[in-house]
Amino acid sequence: MKAFLILEDGHVFEGKSVGSTKEIISEIVFNTSMTGYLEVLTDPSYAGQSVCMTYPLIGNYGICKEDMEAERPWQSGFIVRELAKRPSNFRSEESVESFLIENDITGIEAIDTRALTKILRDKGTMKGMITTDENFDKDDCIKRIKAWSMGHVVLDVTCKEKMSFPGDGYKVAVIDLGVKKNIVRCLLERGCSVTVYPAETPAEEIIADAPDGIMLTNGPGDPKDNVKTIEEIKKLFATKIPIFAICLGHQLLALANGADTQKMKYGHRGANHPVKDLKTGKVYISTQNHGYVVKEETLDRDIAEPSFINVNDKTIEGVHYLGKNVQTVQFHPEACAGPLDTGFLFDEFMNMMEVSK
């Protein structure tokens, strides 16, 4: 069956339908990872987006549900050059196409993903539609695409009630803005007792549970939409409880302290982004997935200072808060699939909790 990707600037790509055939409108982004497509599909940070995978062959090792970052995929759509129909891997449980059908995710293959990526790099991230309607009215589609809004997607992906994972070590409160399973897994591997809270949980409830540390997680959408969560983060920051924040959590903590964020032209999404530790001068390869960034010039240097920068474009990749046991990073130290170069940051979080005792 034919499928079409229509961009808001008028570009139309014709390909083949894979997965669900429902028509969807979403934000169109690209990811440069060669592996980890299942982790990309199930990362809640992609809620409201359709992801174009730049690597030309996707799905050759199939689907292993143990590797999922959430209980279900959150992407609106999946865009590939070629989808492997016969995966070969001893861990594979099914093909990517059957996984897309099973989870009602719209997909399109056999388009020029390099051309699409070049358009997004040149013009910036834009909205688009995937449809199987061969008689679509282009002008009407573009009108509908431009009228579409992602909305406050953090409320869609966050847990609906508190969840607990027992451990014998430090008690960590995880604020679920769109948490990846591997973040919780990294804490549990270090012996932590983890409690996951919905995004808008009152700070007073979290503080009353007496955690040894607080984790602010990754998540989707515009950080400025999270007005209520930012107000609760201000209260948590005012305590002496150590805080470690990743991705969206990093942005929200900056907003809570008076800094500003802005949308990037096309974002950082992939498993090969170099970041520099400004304290040691070392460069690490990181996995990233974000379309917004903290504006360095808006950081109050009496409160915070950059700790990591992106080697390619010099944007802020981490912030250290002065006089506080608070560290935030824009990239993903829990990365799977991807390089584990910065996994030591979880150990630093453990040290922060130990020192604060």
Other Cβ atoms within 10 Å of 263 Cβ, number: 14
Q: Give the helix ranges, DSSP H, for the chain.
A: 37-41, 96-102, 113-123, 138-147, 154-157, 181-189, 203-208, 227-237, 248-256, 344-356
Q: How far apart are the first and last CA of the chain?
A: 61
DSSP at 94 = B
Residue 334 known to be catalytic = yes
Instruction: Determine the Cα–Cα distance for residues 27 and 22; give it in Å rounded to an integer.
Output: 16
Q: Is 332 part of the annotated catalytic residue set? A: yes
Task: Report all structural domains of the chain as residue ranges with CATH numbers, in order of start.
Answer: 2-147 (3.50.30.20), 154-356 (3.40.50.880)
Is pTM beyond 0.85? Reply is yes
State the catalytic residue, choosing from 141, 186, 192, 247.
247
Task: For the sheet with 326-329, list strands across it.
Answer: 163-165, 193-198, 171-176, 213-216, 243-246, 326-329, 316-321, 304-310, 261-277, 283-294
**Taking the CA of residue 160 as centre, how many other CA atoms within 13 Å lie in the half-sphere pointing to its CB?**
1
pLDDT (0 to 100) of residue 338 = 83
Contact 24, 129 (CB under 8 A): yes
What letter represents residue 330's amino acid?
Answer: Q
d(CA 294, CA 263) in angstroms, rounded, equals 9
Q: Which two tokens stand for residue 281?
A: 């001068």
Structural tokens at position 101: 């059908």
Rg (CA), the chain: 20
- The answer to whether the CB of 112 falls within 8 A of the CB of 254 is no
291 belongs to an annotated ligand binding site: yes
Cis upstream peptide for 337 (omega within 30°): yes
Residue with tokens 């199930």: 42
Q: Indicate if 247 belongs to the active site.
A: yes
> Which of 27, 69, 334, 336 is an active site residue?
334
Residue 248 is labelled as binding a ligand: yes
Bridge pairing between strands 49-53 and 77-79:
parallel
Apex 138 CA angle, 137 and 139, nearest 5: 95
Q: What was the pLDDT predicted at 335? A: 86
221 assigned binding-site residue: yes
292 is known to lie in a ligand binding site? yes
Q: 247 and 74 in contact (C-beta within 8 Å)?
A: no
φ and ψ of 225, to 5 deg: -70, -15
Tell whether 249 is in a known binding site. no
pLDDT along the chain (357 residues), means of 10: 98 98 98 96 97 97 96 96 96 97 98 98 97 97 98 97 96 98 97 98 98 98 98 98 98 98 97 96 97 98 97 98 97 88 96 92
